[in-house]
Amino acid sequence: MMQYDDYEYDDSEQDSTPSRSQKKREMTALQKAAEKIVKLGPELVKKSGLPEKFVDAVLETQKIKKHEARRRQIQYLGKLMREIDSEPILRFIENVELGNKDDAKKFQQLEKWRDALVAGEFELINELAEKFPSIDRQRILQLARNAGKEIAAGKPPKSSRALFKALRELEETNA
């Protein structure tokens, strides 16, 4: 009778190649990344600096409307990503997603400032002046007062939009 100890088992060979399940997980992850890129606008994809063959395939996929054809094309994009170095593509997606989250946070902060100023919390201008030394206090105060009057009168929020725009310009110039 043979014992298990009689066999020499070399597990280093098994560890060097990924399992079939691991390969499938990686392929699925690359296809999901390809789906994210396809959802981006064509201008952003063109400016991405990714390989031309890949960008052309993404732009072609964006034109496809039929579900099954689109699914196959995304699988093709996943295949392309396996053939080329996928690291820059994944980094690009991550940067776009992080940029969108940062933009959303900035936008929400600007909305909070605008709403507070319109509500009459004018002491916020002192805090804004510390953060943004180039602030035009008089203009911001006037826009906030006008926005409050427009809301009270039920008029369109022209001054509120102008106030938001002014705050956004402050944020961009001092960023």
Q: For every residue of the chain, which 3-state class applies, written as one string?
A: CCCHHHCCCCCHHHHHCCCHHHHHHHHHHHHHHHHHHHHCCHHHHHCCCCCHHHHHHHHHHHHCCCHHHHHHHHHHHHHHHHHCCCHHHHHHHHHHHHHHHHHHHHHHHHHHHHHHHHCCCCCHHHHHHHHCCCCCHHHHHHHHHHHHHHHHHCCCCHHHHHHHHHHHHHHHHCC
Structure tokens at 120: 């009459």
Q: How large a percentage of the chain has pLDDT more than 90?
A: 29
Residues 97-116: what's their mean pLDDT? 84
> What CA–CA distance (Å, rounded) separates 159 from 72?
50
* Same domain for 108 and 88: no
Residue 4: predicted pLDDT: 54
- With respect to residue 6, please indicate whether it lies within any of the assigned structural domains: no
Confidence of residue 6 (pLDDT cuts 50, 70, 90): low
Query: Which CATH number does the domain housing residue 166 bear?
Result: 1.10.60.30
Q: What is the C-alpha radius of gyration for the chain, rounded to an integer number of angstroms?
A: 27
How many residues are recorded in the chain?
175
- With respect to residue 1, please indicate whether it lies within any of the assigned structural domains: no
* Same domain for 113 and 149: yes
* Same domain for 23 and 87: yes
- Indicate if the pLDDT at residue 72 is higher than 90: yes
- With respect to residue 5, please indicate whether it lies within any of the assigned structural domains: no
> CB 114: neighbour CB atoms within 10 A?
25
Structurally, the chain folds into a number of domains equal to: 2
- With respect to residue 131, please indicate whether it lies within any of the assigned structural domains: yes
The pLDDT tens digits for 151-160 are 899 888 899 8
Residues 1-13: what's their mean pLDDT? 53
Q: Range with the lowest mean pLDDT among 5-19, 24-38, 45-59?
A: 5-19
Q: Which domain holds residue 143?
A: 104-173
- Indicate if the pLDDT at residue 142 is higher than 90: yes
| Count of alpha carbons within 13 angstroms of residue 40, beta-carbon side | 24
Residue 13: predicted pLDDT: 52
Residue 42: predicted pLDDT: 86
Residue 41: predicted pLDDT: 83
- With respect to residue 157, please indicate whether it lies within any of the assigned structural domains: yes
Q: Which of 65, 93, 121 is the last residue of a domain?
A: 93
* Same domain for 88 and 117: no
Mean pLDDT of the chain: 85
